Amino acid sequence: MLTYKAPLRDMKFLINDVFDFQTHYKDLDNGSNADPETVDMILQGMADFSENVLAPLYKKADAEGCHFDNGEVTTPEGFKEAYDQFIEGGWHGISYPEEYGGMNLPMSLNLIKAEMIGTANWPWSMYPGLSTGCINTLMQYGDETQKNTYLPKLIEGTWAGTMCLTEPQCGTDLGQVKSKAVPQDDGSYQLSGTKIFISSGEHDLTENIVHIVLARLPDAPEGTRGISLFIVPKFLPDAQGEIGERNGVTCGSIEHKMGISSSATCVLNFDAATAYLIGEPNKGLKAMFTFMNTARIGTGIEGLAHTELSFQNALPYAKERRSMRALSGTKDPDKAADAIIHHADVRRMLLTQKAFAEGGRSMIYHAARYADKMAQGITRGDDAEFEKWDDKLGFYTPIIKGFLTELGIEAAKHGQQIYGGHGYIKEWGMELIARDARIATLYEGTTGVQALDLLGRKVILQSRGKIIRDYTSSIMKWCGEYALDKDMRKFVWALTKLCAEWNTLTVRLMLMARKDREIISAASDDFLMYSGYVMMGYHWARMAAVAYDKLENGGTESPEFYTAKTQTAEFYFDKILPRTSGHAESMVAPSESMTAMDIDSFAFLD
């Protein structure tokens, strides 16, 4: 039986001690609403809901799955009741403006909330989670009529949202989108086409579902330059803003998947559905990236969620399961064998899970502060401020999404290894985590797509390496502050060398690309993982600095917590960070070994 306990102590360590969110909130228009008492109330309330309502539903909902019948989708038993409780508590709208019914709290609190509900029950969390990107897109690009029509219901949670990009003939390459939107005399459009892999595309949790859909106008240019963005509600709003007649959008089927079976993944058919243009014609892809950046951070949280849940359930098992004696000597002499947690290899796996979970949480909470600034740009209507912070967040999103979701799979694998044979059967739930973790590396673009976005688009094309120089410069400046600190010296020295190497590798790849056009694609995955390990190392060093300060200067009632922080940081630098060496060597290897083989020579099957 899987259990979940919200790691509030670790969350508060980041919020209060490492990142000082209260000072950060003073720079936000809505920051005064997030006083310490309100933040604690939200953390505790969401922890209670996640632990006691969502977590008990996770495993049995997976066994039941979603039900499809003639275009209608029914979610597993208990999902609707949990959703109603979530909405009644006002949890859905905590980070949105009061004028649309929200609580006007910073976006970072919404992301912290998302971590808890996602770790407790990721498939359930996707239903309200998809609405977040829909809301953000309308906040940024919707006109006043669209905002007033849709935002109150979406923020209230009585209506849900989706994003509809993928079609049968195209996934990541959105230039192949074929769905068509034909203008009507009343200013609306008739949209026709088929979208696949639509999470939460149909369900019984809300009275209406608002689809954000990519499609082409009749005179649109080819490729991505000819994509527009539309609102297509399941039920058309009437004059009073309530649900009216059924629109021409139906669910053709739901997918039968490897995991997340209690999250409905739908095929949606749009048959001359009434649609409304968002933003400017043929500029829908830019607007959709607002949705996608939000979704990519959310998917990064999924990687963290699977890591945390696997760790939480592997740890007690390792303390109780007994096998053999520890090599360093008997630990439990009154027992037939020692608990497996005394074996170094089991500790390696547990510490890897712990380091990934707490390091990943720090990365996401740091990015959440950028999300606060980006959201402020949206609410102010300040495009320059929005784009400034969206660009900063844009550097983090492929790393958070690609790197942390890959680590989620590794952590889930370690959980199964710790359980041994019990990790492969359904009774204990570790195989469920392993199955569900797989999808996170595919959502919102595979790891390879994230890697190309990072290296090819953001590092090389957009900034010519400046984005890496700027980021490593900030790390080096921080390292300078601790250069003479005896406790921090080992972390500072390692990060200093890695920052120099990171810049050198970036320059080498740009130079190699002049002669070897395939090197960017060949090197991108290694570059992404290298970047992730260094970034996480920086975050572990920052957490260690705070922990050492707490231990040396007193003022804490939990020295064990801070000691565990410094010890986990040391483990990360000793056992995990050296992985960068392999990635560094691999990324600058010529691409010929990947491209030389003729495609017909991959296999000889007689």
Q: Is 414 helix (H, G, I), strand (E, B) or coil?
A: helix
Joined tokens for residue 22: 């209260």
Alpha carbon separation from 300 to 111, 223, 532, 573 (Å, rounded): 11, 29, 12, 22
Residue 417, Cβ density class (10 Å: 0-12 exposed, 13-18 middle, ≥19 buried): middle
Indicate the helix (H) or strand (E) that contains 570: helix 559-571
Q: 110: which residues sit within 8 A by CB, 6+ positions away?
A: 94, 95, 132
Largest Cα–Cα separation, the chain? 84
Measured distance CA(181)–CA(592) in Å, rounded: 44
The dihedral built from the CA positions of residue 41, 46, 48 and 49, taken in this order, carries a sign that is positive
DSSP collapsed to 3 states, 40-109: HHHHHHHHHHHHHHHHHHHHHHHHHCCEEECCEEECCCCHHHHHHHHHHCCHHHCCCCHHHCCCCCCHHH
The CB density around residue 518, as the number of other CB atoms within 10 Å, is 14
- For tokens 């739908």, the residue is 266
Residue 460 phi, psi dihedral angles, 5° rounding = -95, -60
The CB density around residue 334, as the number of other CB atoms within 10 Å, is 5
Query: Helices (DSSP H) in 381-446: which residue ranges?
Result: 383-419, 430-440
Catalytic amino acids? 444
Joined tokens for residue 504: 């050198």
Measured distance CA(453)–CA(465) in Å, rounded: 13
Measured distance CA(79)–CA(56) in Å, rounded: 11
CA angle at residue 347 from 344 to 351, to 5 degrees? 140
Measured distance CA(137)–CA(378) in Å, rounded: 10
Alpha carbon separation from 64 to 56, 67, 79, 566 (Å, rounded): 14, 8, 11, 43
CA angle at residue 106 from 156 to 405, to 5 degrees? 90
Query: Helices (DSSP H) in 270-329: which residue ranges?
Result: 284-320
Cβ proximity of 452 and 348 under 8 Å:
no
Measured distance CA(367)–CA(229) in Å, rounded: 27
